[in-house]
Amino acid sequence: MGAFLLIKTGWRIILLMIDMRTLIFNYAISNAVCVLVIALLWMQNRARFAGLGFWLADFVLQFFGIVLVALRGFIPDFFSMVVSNACVFAGTILLIDGLGRFTDKRTSQIRNYILLAIFICVHGYFVFIQPNLLARNVNVAVGIIITCSQAAWLLLFRVDARERAIMRWVGYILLAFCLVAAGRIFLDLFVNPGDDFFHSTVFEGLFIVINQTLVIILTFGLFLVVNRRLVISLEQDVLERRRVESALRLSEERFFKAFHSSPDAITITRMSDGQMVEVNEGFSRLSGYSPEEALSSSTITLNFWANPKDREGCVAALRQDQRIHNAEYEFRNRQGEILSGLYSGEIIQLNDESHILSVVHDITERKRAEHALVESEERFRTLVEQAGDGFELVDSTGRFVDVNTAICQMLGYSRAELLNLSVPEIDPATSPERFAHLFNSLLDKSPATFEGQHRRKDGMVFPVEATASIVSISGELFALALVRDITERKSAEIMKERQRLARDLHDSVNQSLHSVVLLSETLTATLQKDNTKRALYLAERMQDSARQSLKEMRLLLYELQAAETGRETDFVQDLETRLAIVERRAGIQAQINLQGGLENCPHLWNKNLFWITIEALNNTLKHAQARNLEINLRCLPGLLELEISDDGKGFDPASRLPGGLGLRSMRERAALLGGELVIDSSPGKGTRVRFSASIH
C-alpha cells in the first residue's frame, strides 16, 4: 500500500511539473509523425492494398482534433470542444471502414455516422447548455469504446484464420483503447475532474500519455501489418511467377510437341516478306521441301501459294480480322502438283514483329474423292434417267424421295407431282399398313422381286414387276425399286395360258367326252342285246368319265379366271375361292385351318405359297379321287409350316410321281423361299404335302 502511494505521489509530481497544454502539444507532434508514417504507407501501397486511404484520413482527423484541443482558449469552444472530439470519433469510424476494406470484410457504416450525430449533439449540450466536463469525458470514452470495439471484433473474429494471424495485434491495441476509455469513465466517476480540462486531475494527463503511447503503437502495428502483407504478397508473387514460368515451360513443350507432331503443315512466317521462321515435318511432307530449304526461303520464293493473289488476300484478311479459320486455298508442292488445303492462320508477335502462324490441312484426297463421287453420281443419274425401267426411291412411310423420267412417263405425272405422292396413292392394292409390312419384309429379305399394280394419272391400272431392296442414305433407310411395265408380258402370259388351257381342253376334257360318246354307243348296242349287267357296267363308266370331265372343266374355268385377274395374291381369300369353285363343287369336302397370324408371314411369300398349294390341289383333283381335303397353315414368329393332305388313293413315292411338271414347280417355289418340301404318300393311304421354312 505504501509503494502504491509512493508511485501515485511520484506521477502526480511529474504531471504537475508538466503543463497539460504541453502534453496536448506533445500529443499533436507525435500524431503528426504518425500521420507522416501512414501517409508514406499509403503512397507506396495504395495501388496494392485497399483501405489505406481511410487509415490516413483517420490519422489526419485525429491530428486535427488534437490541434483544436491544444488551441482551446484561443479559438471558439465549438471548435476546440465539439469539432475536435467529433474529428476523433469520425476518424475512428473511417479506421473501421479502412480495416474492413483492407481485410475484404467491409460493412456499412451508416449506424456509426448516426451515432456520430448523436455524439455531437450530446457533446454540444454539455458544452453550451449545461457545461459539464465529467459528462463530456464520459461521452468521449463511450464513443471510443463503441468504435474501437467494432474494429477489434472485426480483426479478432470476423476475418478468416490466415488474416487473423496478421491482424490480431492491431485488434489487441484497439481493445487497449477500449480498456483505457473504460478506466477513464471509472476514475472520473470516483474522482471529480472539475470544470477546466487544462486544470483537471492528474489522471487526465496520465490518460493523454497512455493514448499517445497507444496511437504510436497502433501506427507501428499498422506498419507491421502492411509489411507482413507485402511479404506474403511477395511470396505469392514469387509462387505465382514460378507457376507461370512452369506453365509457360509446359505450354512451350506442348506447343513444340503439337507443332512438330501434327500431321498438318504448320509454319511461322514473317508477315512483311513471307520469310519462314519455323516449319514442322507436316510442311515438309506436304511441300516436298526439307526444313533447311524452307527456313532459308519464303513462301513467295518457294512459290508455295498456287495463286499469289490468294496470299495477298489472306494477309489482308489477317490484318483486318487477326485470324482466318478453315479457308480453302490451293497450294503448289515441289513437284509442281496443285494441292487443296484448309488454311487457318493467326497473327502473333515475335520479338516485337508481326508473324503469321499458319496451319494447312491437306484435303487433296478428299477433294479428289468428292470430285469422283460427283462424277459417279452424275453417271448414275445419267444411267438412271436413260434407263427404260422406272426408278423409285421411297422412305419408310412410302413417300417418293426420288424418281427418274421413265417412271414419270409410265405413270403420266411430272417429277414434281410424283414427289408429292406416296406408293399407296399410285398402287390400288397397297394401303399404308400394307406398305409398312412390305417395307419390313424387305428388311429381312433384300433384294426381292414381286409383281404388283400401278395406277396412271388418268386412272388406268397396269401390272408392274418391281425389284426392291433397302438402302441406307445418311443413316436413314429407304426402299429402292426398279419398276418395269409388264403389260405386254402379262398379255403374252395370258395368251400362253389360254393356249395351254386349250390343249388341256383338247387332251383331257375332249378325251373324256369322246370316251362318254363311245361308251354311250356301246351301251346302246348292249341294251339292244338285253345284256343288263353289261349295260350297268357301261353306265357307271359313262358316269365316271362325265364326272372327270366336269372336274377338269371346272379346273380349267378357274385357271382361266385366275389368269385374267392379274391382281396380287390374297392367300386365304384366294384359296377359299378356289375350294368353293372347284373342289367343293366336285364333291370334295375341303377346309382351311389357320394357326398364328398372317402378319407373321412375309408379304412377298404369299404368291409362292399360294401356287405351291394350288399345284398340290390340282394333283389331288386329277389323280387322287379323294373325298376329303385339309389345308393347315401355321404362321408363327420365325417359322412357317404348310400342309395339304387328302384321303385319296395315294401312290408309291418310289415310282414316278403323278403330275411331274406341277411337282417340279412346287419344289422350285419352295427353294425360292429357302424352305423344304416333303411329299408323304402310300397306296390306299392318301397323300400329304408338307412345306416348312424359317422366317428371318
- Condensed to tens digits (0 to 9), the pLDDT of residues 561-580 reads 555 454 556 778 878 887 88
User: How confident is the model at residue 682, as a pLDDT?
Assistant: 85
- Over residues 522-531, the mean pLDDT reads 68
- Give the pLDDT of residue 173: 92
Instruction: Write down the pLDDT at residue 643.
Output: 93
CATH at 422: 3.30.450.20
Whether 300 and 392 map to the same domain: the answer is no
- pLDDT value of residue 146: 93
For residue 25, is pLDDT > 60? yes
Same domain (yes/no): 361, 425: no
pLDDT score of 518 more than 70: no
> Are 68 and 125 part of one and the same domain?
yes
Residue 245 included in any domain: no
pLDDT over 50 (residue 16): no
> What is the mean predicted confidence (pLDDT) over 596-610?
75
Per-residue model confidence (pLDDT) at position 176: 92
pLDDT in tens, 373-396: 777 667 666 666 666 688 888 998
Cis status, amide bond into 447, omega within 30 of 0: yes
Per-residue confidence (pLDDT) for residue 34, from 0 to 100: 92
Average pLDDT estimate for 425-452: 81
Look at residue 550 in the predicted model and tell me its pLDDT: 63
Mean pLDDT over each residue of the chain, to the nearest integer: 81
Residues 524 and 625 in one domain: no
Candidate ranges 17-26, 470-479, 496-505, 511-520; pick with highest mean pLDDT: 470-479
Last residue of one domain, picked from the residues 336, 368, 400: 368
Does residue 321 or residue 663 have the better pLDDT?
321
Q: How far apart are CA 85 and CA 137, in angstroms?
A: 10
Residues 627 and 669 in one domain: yes
Euclidean distance between CA atoms 674 and 603, whole angstroms: 15
| Whether residue 130 is found in the same domain as residue 231 | yes
Look at residue 4 in the predicted model and tell me its pLDDT: 45
Query: Is there a contact between 589 and 628 (Cβ–Cβ < 8 Å)?
Result: yes
pLDDT-based confidence at residue 119 (cuts at 50, 70, 90): very high
Full-model pTM:
0.42
249 within a domain of the structure (yes/no): no
Any domain includes 549: yes
Q: What is the pLDDT of residue 552?
A: 62
Of 233-242, 306-315, 411-420, the range with the lowest mean pLDDT is 233-242
Q: Domain holding 629: CATH number? A: 3.30.565.10
589-595 β-sheet, strand order: 589-595, 628-636, 639-646, 687-694, 676-681
- Shared domain check, 125 and 188: yes
Amino acid 19: pLDDT: 65
Q: Which DSSP symbol is given to 568?
A: P
200: containing domain: 11-235
Same structural domain for residues 457 and 600?
no
Helix axes 52-70, 84-102, angle to 10 degrees: 170
Mean of the pLDDT values across residues 252-273? 81
Q: Are residues 584 and 462 part of one domain?
A: no
Query: Buried b vs exposed e over 243-259: b needs ≥16 C-beta within 10 Å?
Result: eeeeeeeeeeeeeeeeb
- Of residues 653 and 645, more confidence is placed in 645
User: Does residue 252 lie within any of the structural domains?
Assistant: no
Top-confidence residue, 201 or 614? 614
Pair (422, 504) in one structural domain: no
Is residue 59 domain-resident? yes
* Domains held by the chain: number: 5
429 shares a domain with 360: no
Q: How confident is the model at residue 112 (pLDDT cuts 50, 70, 90)?
A: very high
The C-alpha cell of 597 is what? 397370324
Q: Record the cell numbers describing residue 127, joined without a space.
A: 458544452
Domain end call among 427, 447, 482: 482
> pLDDT at position 15, please?
46
How large is the average pLDDT for residues 401-427?
A: 88
- Give me the mean pLDDT over the 280-288 stretch: 87
Residue 378 inside a domain? The answer is no
Cell numbers 391400272: residue: 461
Predicted local distance difference test score (pLDDT) of residue 551: 61
Q: Report pLDDT digits (tens) over 218-260.
A: 999 999 988 888 888 788 888 888 888 888 787 777 777 777 7
Report if residue 428 sits inside a domain.
yes
Q: Is the pLDDT of residue 297 over 60?
A: yes
Nearest to 269 by CA among 301, 223, 244: 301
Final residue of a structural domain among 433, 460, 482: 482
Pick from 69, 61, 138, 64: nearest CA to 97: 61
User: Do residue 498 and residue 393 come from a single domain?
Assistant: no
> Is residue 53 in some structural domain?
yes
pLDDT at 349: 87
| pLDDT above 60: residue 51 | yes
Is the distance from CB of 439 to CB of 479 less than 8 angstroms?
A: yes
